[in-house]
Structure 1
Amino acid sequence: MALFLSIFPIILLIYLMVKRNALPSYVALPWIAAVVLIIQLIFFETDIQTVSANIVSAIIAVQTPITVIFGAILFNRFSEISGATNILRKWLGTISPNPVAQLMIIGWAFAFMIEGASGFGTPAAIAAPILVGLGFPALRVAMLALVMNSVPVSFGAVGTPTWFGFGPLRLAEAQILEIGSMSALIHSFAALIIPLMALKLVVGWKEIKNNLVFVYISIAACVIPYALIAQVNYEFPSLLGGAIGLLVSVLVAKRGIGLAKNKDEDTLDNQPVPTSQVVKALFPTGLLIVILIVTRLQQLPFKAMMNDATTWISFQLGSLGMFDISYGLVFTLKSIFATSINASYKLLYVPALIPFVITVLIALPVFAVSGSKTKDIFVGSFKQTRNPFLALVGALIMVKLMLVGGDDSMVKIIGKSFAAATGEYWTLFASYLGAVGAFFSGSNTVSNLTFGSVQLSTAEISGISATLVLALQSVGGAMGNMVCINNIVAVSSVLKIDNQEGTILKETVIPMILYGIIAALVAMFLIPILY
């Protein structure tokens, strides 16, 4: 009965989100959180004090990802309304007439960089319309955008799926870094094949073969710095890897290196975009990257200042707990409802106010954005965060309650059953569980929050490397983006594609399955040698 009640909420969640007339994640996840709450109170007889403290902790914890999402949406709305995105569209479309070059520059390298900065579905929403504007068929572009946007996702939105997605597990900093390192290695091997499968959805194998040298230059230009940066940092791999890859891909394409001569090259009717306009359009993204690097480098004082937890102001909030504000503006609620549970929010260090909001505030006068448009940017961004907020609150409450009870917790019970069923072979299945999480939630972050604890428990009980299994979970959450209903609906709506969700899913599920096979092979044969 304990096993049934532990796994029942997850099965119910999957059912609610994949059934006919499925519930969106922002409706299903809060309902499932309520189901877990009832099970904890009635069957596991958890005291109301512990349950309440975990709920409050989850509500505080959700401020971290939701403010990152708000910042990312704000940045992208500003780019769209200010005209920066439109200039980039025109510029990217004039670099090369070769269709494979256009698909790799925009669908791969540009989307890779956007994922690193913003995540949360924005790469497909920005890159796909550019490609359709260049004459590619909308349905095929939707498929390509979904498949391409997988490799960088574990480090999307400045690494949010990794550093926040596994936050409830209270892992050591070194272990989170190693998870990121292993994830990047697995993704890098998948990148040797997955972009080719994405290209095949739009152009033929002959065209891919004729331009294969350029394709692999573009892949390597993103993936090599991505994998190297992931060895020392879990926030920048996709952002910097994408930026370097985009620069290299553009320079190589302009020189025609590795590209077949296009018959229509001389008839390309595209006015070149002035360099000054391109520089101005890239200014916000460049500023974003600079601020992130300056505030994250260990060698500079800013990171330590923004994480300074030394108490500045402290006062009691009745029975709720002790509220503490540090010199680094870290807001902490301690001893919630007289329990040992604490929760905090780092105002300056969480990548929201710095760099997203600050970058937008600096860029607004540069682009001479009017007061009414500025209001529209901020108000629209707040509205767009409502549904992700509800989904994340539900996910975090569910996870925190499922972790209550230590060795007798719901996740430990599930972990024991998975371990008993698969034993040492769990590495073959771990990435697919992560993909299931992304499939129904639309987010690598939510997938890691939802299943990270189950994966950790299964690994510990099976005697497998917990770091490796969590890396596979992160990779699975990324590859699940290809088949995620939310993402399919989002890109279809952006491209005005009607009633083709099933068609898209049938095509994208094949590279997703292959991705999981590659992940399992790397995990079984290569990682034990390198780690």
Structure 2
Amino acid sequence: MALFLSIFPIILLIYLMVKRNALPSYVALPWIAVVVLIIQFIFFGSDIAVVSANIAAALIAVQTPITVIFGAILFNRFSESAGIIDILRKWLGNINPNPVAQIMIIGWAFAFMIEGASGFGTPAAIAAPILVGLGFPVLKVAMLTLIMNSVPVSFGAVGTPTWFGFSALNLNEEQILQIGSISAFIHSVAALIIPLMALRLIISGQEIRKNLAFIYLSIFACVIPYFLLAQLNYEFPALIGGAVGLLISVVSANRGIGLAQTQGEASVAELPPKALMKALLPTAMLIAMLILTRIPQLPFKAMMNDATVWFSLQLGSLGIFEISRGLILSLNNIFGTSISAGYKLLYVPALIPFIITVLIAAPLFSMSLSGTKQIFVSSLKQTRNPFLALVGALIMVNLMLVGGDNSMVKIIGKSFAQATGEYWTLFAAYLGAVGSFFSGSNTVSNLTFGSVQLSTAEITGLSATMVLALQSVGGAMGNMVCINNIVAVSSVLDMNNQEGNILKKTVLPMLIYGVIAALCALFIIPIFY
């Protein structure tokens, strides 16, 4: 009964979102949160203070994804108003008007690099509007960017899912490095197939075959440095791999290497270099800020994450409100429990880089004060529905984690592990994907299920580093189907009630990704690791 009641809300949520006349996520998710709340009180007998504290923590935690979404929408609206999207479209047409080249440059290599610098669903939020501006269909672009943004994710945000996601397991440096190495190997194998599946959503099979040489050139340009660096480091593989891949992809497309001729190439108007440099400036500022604030060797990351308390105030029974030197706003000991939640004002990629970039760039593009105010207001209005969806999602997640080892999430994980035994390698990645589906984060998935995966490996005699690598890969491939990311990219592209349709299309590549991971674990990894 415990297992049934733990899985029931997930099945109900999927049904409500993919059925005919599906409910939009901002309606379905809050209702599912209510269902989980009822199950917690009636069946699990959870303490009201603990449940209330988790709901309050979710309301605080939702500020992280919603401000990132707001920042991405704001940057997109600014880019449209300032004419940047139009110039970038013309520039990509000058590089090569071939749609395959444009998708691989923006949807693959550029997003790969942004994932390495930032994570938080930022790559799809930045890449998708550019692709839509180039004339690609909105819904299919949303699906493509979600599928493409999977290979680099285990090393997203300067490797956070790997080095922080497994931090509670007391692993040594060598073990963490090996987990990263195995993860990169599996992702590299998956990269041979997954980008083609994403392309097929927009490009015909015939066009893919004609441009296959360029597609694999772009894939290998990212994946080879990514895999090689992962043997030595678990922070920079995605960032460096994406940067190298982007450079090679742009140069190759400019020279037409591996690309079929596209009609109308000669008619593309020449773009003045000064106009292009000006149009690229906001994006360059965005990337520079992300990189400078994510590299541990520079002082900015430590400053923005400085948790030393600067201001503290007791808010009655609600908890202790604190502001740190790094401007981390937190509420601790919520309702007298050990539960805390916070918001990193400077580190979450919202104020820096999105809002700051728009405020700096607006005068450079002669945007009036009233025009700037208007894009802020319209962007804020566009975040209303995703806010409701994410509040529901995070309350659901937090409540399903109540109970520690006896939580609904852990019951699901343990039941799966017990049912499969030594064949767990076939399913380990899917548990990681379940974690991402819930939380919208490879890091949170690793934190949540890392201990289950490790104990399963120890009980069954499987390699602990291999199983944990499968967990990390699963958390990355779960990005395709996680509610937070689907809501985010739908919001940025201003689509309504399309979450179910997106989920239907992204679930198949995710399932195939898991098969690839399992085959690697069974037949290839034991030979080399």
> Same fold, TM exceeding 0.5?
yes
Correspondence list, 1:465-476, <5 A: 465=464, 467-476=468-477
CA pair 374-523 structure 1, distance change in 2 beyond 3 A: farther
**One-letter amino acid of the structure 2 residue matched with residue 278 of structure 1:** L
Aligned to 1:375: 373
C-alpha deviations, 1:407-461, integer Å up to 9, x for none?
22222222222112222323323444566787xx7x9826876897367536534
Match status 1:127 vs 2:131: yes
1:457 pairs with one of 441, 452, 471:
452
Q: 2 CA distance for matches of 1:201 and 1:23?
A: 24
C-alpha deviations, 1:231-252, integer Å up to 9, x for none?
7466x76566444433321212
Aligned to 2:440: 445
After TM superposition, give the deviation of residue 89 of structure 1 in Å: 0.7
Q: 2 CA distance for matches of 1:81 and 1:101?
A: 26
Aligned to 1:45: 45
Aligned to 1:218: 218
Aligned to 2:322: 324
277-286 or 185-194: bigger deviation: 185-194
CA pair 159-85 structure 1, distance change in 2 beyond 3 A: farther
Q: 2 CA distance for matches of 1:375 and 1:355?
A: 18
Q: TM-score, normalised by structure 1?
A: 0.81
CA pair 476-332 structure 1, distance change in 2 beyond 3 A: same
Correspondence list, 1:104-503, <5 A: 104-112=104-112, 118-132=122-136, 147-152=147-152, 158=157, 162=161, 183-199=183-199, 208-209=208-209, 211-227=211-227, 232=233, 241-259=241-259, 262=261, 264=263, 268-432=266-430, 445=440, 453=448, 457=452, 460-461=455-456, 463=458, 465=464, 467-480=468-481
Q: 1 CA distance for matches of 2:332 and 2:494?
A: 44
45-54 or 457-466: bigger deviation: 457-466
What are structure 1's unaligned runs of at least 5 residues?
A: none
Q: 2 CA distance for matches of 1:475 and 1:238?
A: 12
After TM superposition, give the deviation of residue 191 of structure 1 in Å: 1.4
After TM superposition, give the deviation of residue 271 of structure 1 in Å: 0.6
8 Å CA contact 2:146, 2:486 repeated in 1:
no
| Structure 2 counterpart SS, 1:368 | coil
Q: 2 CA distance for matches of 1:447 and 1:65?
A: 14
| Structure 2 counterpart SS, 1:283 | helix
**One-letter amino acid of the structure 1 residue matched with residue 48 of structure 2:** I
C-alpha deviations, 1:377-399, integer Å up to 9, x for none?
21122122222222222222222
After TM superposition, give the deviation of residue 88 of structure 1 in Å: 0.4
| Structure 2 counterpart SS, 1:20 | coil
Q: 2 CA distance for matches of 1:178 and 1:290?
A: 30
After TM superposition, give the deviation of residue 318 of structure 1 in Å: 0.7
Aligned to 2:16: 16
After TM superposition, give the deviation of residue 202 of structure 1 in Å: 5.7
Q: 2 CA distance for matches of 1:140 and 1:193?
A: 18
CA pair 6-313 structure 1, distance change in 2 beyond 3 A: same
Aligned residues: 514
CA pair 462-283 structure 1, distance change in 2 beyond 3 A: same
C-alpha deviations, 1:235-282, integer Å up to 9, x for none?
x7656644443332121222233345x3857x6211121111111111
**One-letter amino acid of the structure 1 residue matched with residue 391 of structure 2:** V
8 Å CA contact 2:29, 2:393 repeated in 1:
yes
Q: 2 CA distance for matches of 1:160 and 1:60?
A: 24
CA pair 100-170 structure 1, distance change in 2 beyond 3 A: same
CA pair 12-171 structure 1, distance change in 2 beyond 3 A: farther
Q: 1 CA distance for matches of 2:347 and 2:254?
A: 39
8 Å CA contact 2:317, 2:336 repeated in 1:
yes
Q: 2 CA distance for matches of 1:84 and 1:311?
A: 41
Q: 2 CA distance for matches of 1:160 and 1:64?
A: 19
80-89 or 28-37: bigger deviation: 28-37
Q: 1 CA distance for matches of 2:69 and 2:519?
A: 33
After TM superposition, give the deviation of residue 19 of structure 1 in Å: 2.0
**One-letter amino acid of the structure 1 residue matched with residue 21 of structure 2:** N
Q: 1 CA distance for matches of 2:153 and 2:408?
A: 28
Q: 2 CA distance for matches of 1:350 and 1:127?
A: 25
Q: TM-score, normalised by structure 2?
A: 0.82
8 Å CA contact 2:386, 2:488 repeated in 1:
no
8 Å CA contact 2:382, 2:491 repeated in 1:
no
Aligned to 2:28: 28
| Structure 1 counterpart SS, 2:421 | helix
